[in-house]
């Protein structure tokens, strides 16, 4: 069994576990830094290793367009291409096809769209996307799904969810077909296909989706999709609770695209194990800094002479060396090191939350730990970005 | 004596030596990466330490404008500000005042100009610049000089050189005045003031300048300025030979702003010890890669599937991990890691040349080594950028 999920401790619905993959273990709860184009923006793989990141993300849509998934395969697969020998998960591109690409035509076969880069016509089907993800060679691959806006009505949400489930069956079939093809010169490592539970903000659709997905196969893990896409926070937390009940407690759950500090903490309490979010790097590039006391923006003049680190409670490679005044100077002067230091700090911040959560669960204190954490983070947040 | 220069080996006019500063030794010949705004563009100080950089540069003009030299002093000086505890040299801003600033008025007192950033009016005198460089607190500080274009006629070159020498006397007087002021709360480490030999491409002016500068003081080292600013390469090499003869063999010589591989090798043969140049980082940001076989540009389509490192003979943190195909992908996709990797490789390349030169001098083989190096670099250079 190349994939295993072993739960070592529980604290309420929160779990501490180890997800084993062909490229090593992922201790959960885990935050997965996003490396859309085979690089976590502004960071070096060595930074991520130093911070203790285990699994990172790549994106099938983006890598298909640039440099091309066949080129990545030629170059030894994503791990070798980007020099990352720990686990990788690839997103299927479902979200990007529906958010970035232009002139979409969706039907049962798949999605025809124009590349956001050069307008070239492309056709993604469940089969094509499985081929792309196999070329990339990640450890965990996500199904191709039909993504809809967060507040979609019941009828649209139902249609998209049911289509996603039909596409899931095609994904599984294609993965099995690809696995049966004798490996070329190099051995192809096994990949874990995760289905994605959709259903918008409609509890019964989420429950139905989880049930039907479970009937198809004994999946190695589950994605929870279509959240943090415009709906209310409370609706999101409610949907996570519904899915927590509807999925097997024994398997890993990945809440896709969610990764603000408060969301990670609330979702861990509701049984989620894996997270990803571009916020730490994207917001870092705009000067936003996560701290234990809330967010601040380093560009503000008040930090001009501030000798304190970005977050006095942080031991990352930015905070252990540089002052707010220096990082502010780098930002104001458009120096790349500024982007790097904030990305580094923010990603480290999310990784630390996941580690803190894990330790609290092991001690059986997740409830107290998360309440204290959120209370300090929320009440003191003086400088929203 | 906080500053010492001890020559350990010679090979022709080339020398291997150790320049001791209050922040540690600099083994020469040395290439000094340029950290104009208190950061070597696209790199982390840890990268530079890993590459074996010793002395780096800061720039008085740029740091006076952003973040302000008084702010840097408040924050503990340039070393503490940018977290660099090895030696630093600051350039006086003479070159920037004459190349970047607008609406200059030059007279004997100094230069009035408008900031290239916001048009604000500023007045640099030798005294003001010494105050700025003291606030920054570098180990080696350069005099304020009058810089002119490379092909200036004899009369302009003479005027600028003679004015630079009068300004040198004022710089020295101001440094002595500042040193006599009781140190504030924190101790101010001693600084070495280097004069700058000017004189354009006129041998007799260079000789006269060197002679008059030597009469003023027993300087800890000498800058050679006004070269690589548009004149022919042969004229530059000739001027270096003239200055080599005219300066004491016992003292370090710093060839300002010069740092292309072939120039470093030619100048070491003519008795130069210290170099700086923005080319490795600036050209790296445009995709140019220095290799032992000449320059290449990583953006070219031919590297799309190239599994070789940027330079197969290099052991830097880029070449030991990534393929040309991956770095090309990063460049084409505007990913910051691409800029970082090329800057890293190119700076490492120049540092390695300086180290190679040093070892060849110690073995007494500089002549053979430099001939072989240049012959391979020049003849094979297939892909000029």
| pLDDT by 10s per residue, chain A, length 385 | 789 999 999 999 999 999 999 999 999 999 999 999 999 999 999 999 999 999 999 999 999 999 999 999 999 999 999 999 999 999 999 889 888 877 789 999 999 999 999 999 999 999 999 999 999 999 999 999 999 887 789 999 999 999 999 999 999 999 999 999 887 655 688 999 999 999 999 999 999 999 999 999 999 999 999 998 888 899 999 999 999 999 999 999 999 999 999 999 999 999 999 999 999 999 988 999 999 999 999 999 999 999 999 999 999 999 999 999 999 999 999 999 999 999 999 999 999 999 999 999 999 999 999 999 999 997 665 544 4
B65 touches chain A (CB under 8 A): no
pLDDT, residue A38, reads 98
pLDDT, residue B385, reads 42
B337 touches chain A (CB under 8 A): yes
Closest-CA residue of A relative to B335 is A41
Backbone angle region of B257, left / alpha / beta, with phi > 0 → left and psi within -120 to 50 → alpha: left
* Cβ-count burial B214-238 (b if 16+ within 10 Å, e if not): beeeebbbbbbbbbbbebeeebbbb
Q: Do B332 and A42 touch (CB under 8 A)?
A: no
For B34-37, the CB contacts below 8 A with 24+ separation are: B34/B59, B34/B276, B34/B277, B34/B278, B34/B281, B35/B82, B35/B84, B36/B62, B36/B278, B37/A329, B37/A330, B37/A333, B37/A335, B37/B62, B37/B63, B37/B66
Q: Do B82 and A326 touch (CB under 8 A)?
A: yes
Q: How far is B299 from chain A (nearest CA, A)?
A: 13
Q: How far is B327 from chain A (nearest CA, A)?
A: 9
How many degrees, rounded to 5, is the angle at CA B128 between CA B126 and CA B132? 115
Contacts of A307 in chain B (CB under 8 A): 75-76
A336 touches chain B (CB under 8 A): yes
Q: Check pLDDT > 50 for residue B217.
A: yes
Closest-CA residue of A relative to B78 is A326
Contacts of B67 in chain A (CB under 8 A): 304, 325, 328-329, 332-333
Q: pLDDT by residue (tens digit) across B51-75? A: 999 999 999 999 999 999 999 999 9
Nearest beta carbon to residue B39 from set A38, A43, A335: A335
Contacts of A74 in chain B (CB under 8 A): 305
Distances from the Cα of B272 to the Cα of B3, B115, B212, B222, B268, angstroms:
18, 33, 20, 10, 5
B37 touches chain A (CB under 8 A): yes
Nearest beta carbon to residue A75 from set B82, B305, B333: B305
Nearest beta carbon to residue A322 from set B42, B83, B332: B83
How many degrees, rounded to 5, is the angle at CA B170 between CA B168 and CA B176? 105
Nearest to A282 by CA among B336, B326, B344, B332: B336
Nearest beta carbon to residue A307 from set B43, B75, B340: B75
Interface test with B, best of A78, A331, A333, A343 (most B CBs within 10 A): A333
DSSP assignments along B313-366, one per residue? T--STTTTT--HHHHHHHHHTT-HHHHHHHHHHHHHHHHHHHHHHHHHHHTT-H
Q: How far is B23 from chain A (nearest CA, A)?
A: 18
Q: pLDDT by residue (tens digit) across B19-50? A: 999 999 999 999 999 999 999 999 999 999 99
pLDDT, residue A29, reads 98
Q: Do B43 and A337 touch (CB under 8 A)?
A: yes
DSSP assignments along A276-325, one per residue? E-SHHHHHHHTTEEEETTEEEETTSGGGTT--S-SSTT--STTTTT--HH
Q: How far is A81 from chain B (nearest CA, A)?
A: 6
Q: pLDDT by residue (tens digit) across B344-353? A: 999 999 999 9
Count interface pairs A-B at CB distance under 8 A.
Answer: 98
Binding-face residues of A in 78-107 toward B, CB within 8 A: 81-83
Q: Check pLDDT > 70 for residue B379.
A: no
DSSP-derived secondary structure letter, B125 = -
A333 touches chain B (CB under 8 A): yes
Q: How far is A149 from chain B (nearest CA, A)?
A: 28
Distance from C-alpha of B37 to C-alpha of B14, rounded to nearest angstrom: 32
Q: Do A326 and B41 touch (CB under 8 A)?
A: no
Residues of A with catalytic roles:
91, 276
Q: Do A75 and B326 touch (CB under 8 A)?
A: yes
Interface test with B, best of A39, A42, A69, A83 (most B CBs within 10 A): A39
* Percentage with pLDDT > 90 across chain B: 89
pLDDT, residue A380, reads 60
Q: Do B329 and A74 touch (CB under 8 A)?
A: no
Q: pLDDT by residue (tens digit) across B97-135? A: 888 877 789 999 999 999 999 999 999 999 999 999 999
Mean pLDDT of chain B: 94
Closest-CA residue of B relative to A46 is B317
B323 touches chain A (CB under 8 A): yes
SS3 state at A15: strand
Label residue B16 by pLDDT band (50, 70, 90): very high
Q: pLDDT by residue (tens digit) across B309-346? A: 999 999 999 999 999 999 999 999 999 999 999 999 99
Nearest beta carbon to residue B323 from set A75, A332, A340: A75
Say which of B47, B69, B91, B273 is annotated catalytic: B91
**Mean pLDDT for the stretch of residues B304-308:** 98
Q: Do B329 and A44 touch (CB under 8 A)?
A: no
A384 touches chain B (CB under 8 A): no
Nearest to A19 by CA among A85, A73, A89: A89
The single residue listed with the structure tokens 């072993």 is A6
């Amino acid at each position: 069994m190349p994939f295993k999920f072993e739960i070592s401790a529980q604290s309420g619905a929160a779990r501490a576990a180890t997800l084993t993959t062909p490229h090593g273990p992922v201790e959960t709860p885990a935050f997965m830094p996003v490396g859309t184009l085979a690089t976590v923006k502004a960071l070096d793989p060595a930074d991520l290793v130093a911070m203790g990141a285990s699994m990172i993300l790549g994106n099938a849509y983006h890598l298909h367009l640039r440099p091309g998934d066949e080129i990545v395969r030629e170059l030894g697969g994503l791990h070798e291409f980007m020099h990352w020998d720990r686990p990788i998960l690839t997103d299927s591109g479902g979200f990007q096809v529906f958010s970035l690409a232009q002139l979409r035509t969706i039907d049962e076969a798949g999605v025809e769209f124009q590349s956001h880069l050069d307008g070239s016509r492309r056709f993604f089907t469940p089969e094509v996307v499985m081929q792309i993800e196999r070329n990339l060679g990640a450890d965990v691959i996500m199904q191709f799904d039909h993504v809809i806006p967060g507040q979609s009505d019941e009828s649209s949400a139902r249609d998209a969810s049911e289509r996603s489930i039909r596409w899931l069956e095609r994904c599984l079939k294609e993965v099995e077909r690809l696995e049966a093809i004798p490996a070329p010169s190099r051995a192809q490592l096994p990949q874990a296909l995760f289905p994605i539970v959709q259903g918008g903000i409609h509890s019964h659709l989420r429950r139905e989706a989880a049930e039907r997905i479970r009937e198809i196969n004994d999946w190695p893990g589950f994605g929870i999709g279509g959240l943090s896409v415009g709906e209310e926070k409370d609706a999101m937390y409610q949907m996570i609770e519904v899915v927590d009940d509807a999925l097997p407690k024994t398997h890993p759950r990945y809440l896709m695209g969610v990764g603000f500090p408060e969301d990670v903490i609330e979702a861990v309490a509701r049984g989620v194990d894996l997270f990803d979010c571009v916020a730490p790097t994207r917001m870092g590039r705009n000067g936003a800094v996560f701290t234990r006391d809330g967010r601040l923006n380093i560009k503000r003049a008040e930090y001009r002479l501030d000798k304190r680190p970005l977050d006095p409670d942080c031991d990352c490679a930015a905070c252990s060396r540089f002052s707010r005044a220096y990082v502010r100077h780098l930002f104001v002067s458009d120096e790349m090191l500024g982007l790097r230091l904030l990305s580094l700090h923010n990603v480290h911040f999310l990784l630390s939350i996941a580690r803190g959560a894990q330790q609290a669960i092991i001690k059986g204190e997740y409830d107290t730990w998360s309440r204290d954490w959120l209370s300090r983070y929320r009440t003191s947040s003086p400088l929203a970005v």
